[in-house]
Amino acid sequence: MPDKEIREDEFLNVDTIMSHSQKLEDELQKLGLRIKHHEDNLKFLKAQIDAIDESILDLQVELGKYHSRALETENSIVSPVKSENHTVENILEQERSAAGLICYMKLHQGPLEAKLQLTKDVLGVVATLGKVHDDNLSRLLSEYLGLENMMAVVCKTYEGVMALEKYNKDGMIERRSGLNGLGLSVVARNIQGRYLVYCIENLRPYVGEFIPENPQRRLALLKPRLPNGETPPEFIGFAVNMIDLDHTHLACITPNGLGLRETLFYNLFSRLQVYKTRSGMQYAMPCISDGAISLDGGIMKNNGVFYLGDRNNIEVRFPISSGISRLPEDVIETEKNLQLINWKKERFFEDMKREETLLDKAKALFAAKKEESINFLKETALNWKQGMEK
């Protein structure tokens, strides 16, 4: 009877061993399939990015041909070009500023600047990211925002903001790291004083419709209404819609496809109204909530807060538009397609990073499970041998 019980225990032990061994084998197989799944995904994403790169090259060649032809008529837009150069020159005069360093990098570093991890998410300086149709409006909007806002650095992501400045364990700025360190290596000087940074992904965007078929994607804001239901007679429009944007900044700045107008400039201007004269602005006060300006120099920050006195000499202001919104339709469409494709490429790169992380985790789990299986088999063989010897 005892011999029979021993044999039954042995059979039970073998069944347990076989069951656990099969379980480990099944888990290894599942992990192997998971690894193959992530590797296949990475191959697919790499193929998509390669195809996108070819499309980008084709579109860039197409746009290059247009811009080469446009150079022949550059004399007709000398004034806007000079205006843009003047804006950059005035920013560069602020030698120890973050904005000055960013502009210097964009002017002198070229392709190298785009590769630097530190500035990869920097879109530029507020003053260089928009244009307006005439000098008077440029002065007014720039004065309304003030020098600090005009010189603000604009980043796409919070990660990009954090890369601009590093701190030691005592909370003090590391002068040889971040933008300060870049300043030392490029122009041999640190940044002086505080500077403003806008993080696009953290700004609360405009929520609403856009003006249909408008190449500049202007916001469909409701016109102000007086108590009698009529629009003020001298109302011209909203400041946020009077900014002209390069087509690369009209959409796809954020992961969900938003552009600078509905993020940065909507936060800067909100529903700032523009009127012909001070008297027209004053007449419209009952329907002004987010401030107003008038073309003859009136500025009202918000209802009840006025700017009086002589106009300031504006050091940094928006450049004059070179007719961005009047580009040929086929060129506009090509630039939109190029921006959309670049945006898709960024999304594919993000997907690749996620897949690589998941693949690394799956490989680590596979290695650990394989080691567990080998150790189990060794231990089982050892126990079986010891049992046989007894």
Q: Examine the pLDDT at 355 and tell me if it is beyond 80.
A: yes
Burial class (CB in 10 A: 0-12, 13-18, 19+), 100: buried
d(CA 107, CA 170): 35
Which of the two residues, 146 and 4, has the higher pLDDT score?
Answer: 146
| Phi, then psi, of 302 in degrees rounded to 5 | -155, 175
CATH of 208-315, one of 3.40.50.300, 3.30.70.1620, 1.10.3720.10, 3.40.50.150: 3.30.70.1620
The identity of residue 315, as a single letter, is E
CATH of 95-202, one of 2.160.20, 1.10.357, 1.20.1060, 1.10.10: 1.20.1060
**Cβ count near 144 (within 10 Å):** 20
Q: Which of 67-76, 105-114, 185-194, 356-365 has the lowest mean pLDDT?
A: 67-76
The average pLDDT across 186-212 equals: 87
Q: Examine the pLDDT at 11 and tell me if it is beyond 70.
A: no
Tokens of 39: 């590797």
| Mean predicted lDDT score pLDDT of the chain | 79
Percent of the chain beyond pLDDT 90?
22
Q: Examine the pLDDT at 130 and tell me if it is beyond 80.
A: yes
Q: Which helix (H) or strand (E) holds 112?
A: helix 111-115
Q: What is the largest CA-CA distance in the chain?
A: 113
- pLDDT band at 328; cut points 50, 70, 90: low
Q: Examine the pLDDT at 69 and tell me if it is beyond 60.
A: no
Which sequence spans correspond to the domains of the chain?
A: 95-202, 208-315
* pLDDT tens string 267-303: 999 999 999 999 999 999 999 989 999 998 999 987 6
- pLDDT band at 67; cut points 50, 70, 90: low
Percent of the chain beyond pLDDT 70?
79
Q: Which of 68-72, 217-221, 312-316, 356-360 has the lowest mean pLDDT?
A: 68-72
Q: Return the DSSP state at 177.
A: S
Q: Which of 164-168, 184-188, 375-379 has the lowest mean pLDDT?
A: 184-188
pLDDT recorded at residue 260: 93
* Token pair 């193929």 in the structure block, residue: 47
Choose the most confident range, by mean pLDDT, from 106-120, 186-200, 203-217, 308-322.
203-217
Q: Examine the pLDDT at 116 and tell me if it is beyond 50.
A: yes
The average pLDDT across 177-202 equals: 82
* Token pair 């007679």 in the structure block, residue: 233
Q: Examine the pLDDT at 145 and tell me if it is beyond 90.
A: yes
Q: Return the DSSP state at 324.
A: G
- pLDDT band at 246; cut points 50, 70, 90: confident
Q: Examine the pLDDT at 199 and tell me if it is beyond 50.
A: yes
Q: Examine the pLDDT at 76 and tell me if it is beyond 60.
A: no
Which of the two residues, 308 and 150, has the higher pLDDT score?
Answer: 150
Tokens of 51: 């195809």
| Phi, then psi, of 179 in degrees rounded to 5 | -65, -35
